[in-house]
Amino acid sequence: MNTKDSILNIARETIALESVSIGNLATLLDADFADAVELIYHSKGRVIITGIGKSAIIATKIVATLNSTGTPAVFMHAADAIHGDLGLILEDDVVICISKSGNTPEIKVLVPLIKSAKNKMIAITGSKDSFLGTQADYVLNTYVAKEACPNNLAPTTSTTAQLVIGDALAVCLLDLRGFSSKDFAKYHPGGALGKKLYLRVQDMSSVNKKPKVHLETDVKQVIMEITESMLGVTAVVENNKIVGIITDGDLRRMLSKADSFSGLKAKDIMSSNPKSIAEDAMAVDAMEVMEKFGISQLLVEKDGDYAGVVHLHDLIKEGII
């Protein structure tokens, strides 16, 4: 077997082993999981998540997921906790301790301190009979038969299981809270994801020029209006109502058909009934209209009046496309 085949086989075996272990997690779920979700949901405090080693890294990811889906969470490293960071835990906080074995020295020191403060504690562990498992109020079982590591030592399958249980917690809490895409947008204002959820057409069209001509505007002025706006388009309006549109394409078609454009008016070359969109529509809605009709500009309306233009380039610039 060549080296590439060997690498691919090992990768496939790793994925297969981890997928079987993850699938088995569903059979390990019990009433403790549901009770833990309800405890967090009804809590007046935050979720404090702690761990050591690789479990600490998983804890930080679960914290991030909870925070972004409406459940306030804070990471506390187990080693730092016993050297001063226990002050992070407030009276109404729920503590989640993550540990594969449930018997690490830091966990054995930390758990009694948490219990003495009377905070409710949830264990995410692969050993229900461990010190952590027996001391916690609720145990979320993440037992795995074998690590993907060929020596069965490096945390691989076990940390994946912890991560999946964390995701399951977050999704259940999200559902209980009725967390919507609008709520999600509040926590994700940056980047393309956030913009898809909150960016509106007017946020882009308001910074563009608003090219417009009238039915009787001569073609030379039409060309100047399109050129000056740098949007490749102008609206044709009457009483500030959209009656047509003229694009660069319309001008090219005109030049290919006529030897002279002297005497031609906007009404002679415009396209009637152009596609338009309300300025308070979402930017993603504008993208869908452009994709559906194969166009690169949309005229924008506010309360039925012409309000500007949104261009495909605006969507690209904002990362919507």
Report if residue 193 sits inside a domain: no
Alpha-carbon span 88 to 266, nearest angstrom: 69
Judgement on whether residues 133 and 268 belong to the same structural domain of the protein: no
SS3 assignment, position 304: coil
77 is in an annotated binding site: yes
Q: At what angle do helices 283-293 and 191-198 cross, to 10 degrees?
A: 90
265 within a domain of the structure (yes/no): yes
Domain shared by 137 and 262, yes or no: no
Query: Whose CA is closest to 182, among 69, 65, 278?
Result: 69
CA 128 → CA 106, 132, 137, distances in Å? 18, 8, 12
Q: What is the CATH number of the domain that holds 136?
A: 3.40.50.10490
Single out the residue in 150, 179, 208 at which a domain terminates. Answer: 179
Q: Which residues of 229-256 are buried (b: 16+ CB within 10 A; e: fewer)?
A: bebbbbbbbeeeebbbbbbbebbeebee
**pLDDT tens-digit map of 190-244:** 655 666 767 899 999 999 999 999 999 999 899 999 999 999 999 999 999 999 9
Q: What would the DSSP string read from start to end of 38-77?
A: HHHHH-SS-EEEEESTHHHHHHHHHHHHHHHTT--EEEEE
Q: Does residue 27 surpass a pLDDT of 70?
A: yes
* Backbone phi and psi for residue 310, each to the nearest 5 degrees, phi listed first: -115, 135
Regarding whether 10 and 144 lie in a shared domain, the answer is: yes
User: What pLDDT, on the 0 to 100 scale, is given for residue 152?
Assistant: 85
pTM of the model: 0.68
Whether residues 133 and 222 fall in one domain: no
β-sheet bridge partners, residue 234:
246
Q: 66 with 143, same domain?
A: yes
How far is Cα 49 from Cα 60, in angstroms, rounded to an integer? 8
- Number of compact structural domains in the chain: 2
Query: Which one of 121, 149, 179 terminates a domain?
Result: 179
Considering 179, 208, 225, which residue would you say is the last residue of a domain? 179
Structural domain includes residue 184:
no
Name the nearest CA neighbour of 287 among 267, 261, 315: 315
269 and 174 belong to one structural domain: no
- Sheet architecture: strand order including 212-213: 212-213, 233-238, 241-247, 271-272
88 or 197, higher pLDDT: 88
**pLDDT, tens only, 105-160:** 999 999 999 999 999 999 999 999 999 999 999 999 999 999 988 888 888 999 99
Q: Are residues 61 and 28 in the same domain?
A: yes
| Percentage of the residues of the chain whose pLDDT score is greater than 70 | 93
191 found inside a domain? no
Give a yes or no: residue 186 inside a domain: no
- How many Cβ atoms from other residues are within 10 Å of residue 125's Cβ? 28
> Which contiguous run of DSSP H or E holds residue 266?
helix 266-269
Distance CA 286, CA 304 (A): 17
Q: pLDDT at residue 186 above 70? A: no
Q: Domain with 233 in it: what CATH number?
A: 3.10.580.10
At 190 the pLDDT is: 61
Looking at the chain, the whole-number percentage of residues with pLDDT higher than 90 is: 74
**Does residue 299 share a domain with residue 225?**
yes
Note whether residue 270 is domain-resident: yes
Same domain, 121 and 21: yes
Same domain, 173 and 242: no
Domain range for 203? 198-317
Report the pLDDT value the prediction gives residue 128, as an integer from 0 to 100: 94
Does some domain include residue 188? no
Q: What is the pLDDT of residue 192?
A: 59
Same domain, 171 and 27: yes
Angle between helices 157-176 and 31-42 (to 10 degrees): 50
Is 25 domain-assigned?
yes
CB 312, CB 297: distance < 8 Å:
yes
Same domain, yes or no, for 128 and 30?
yes
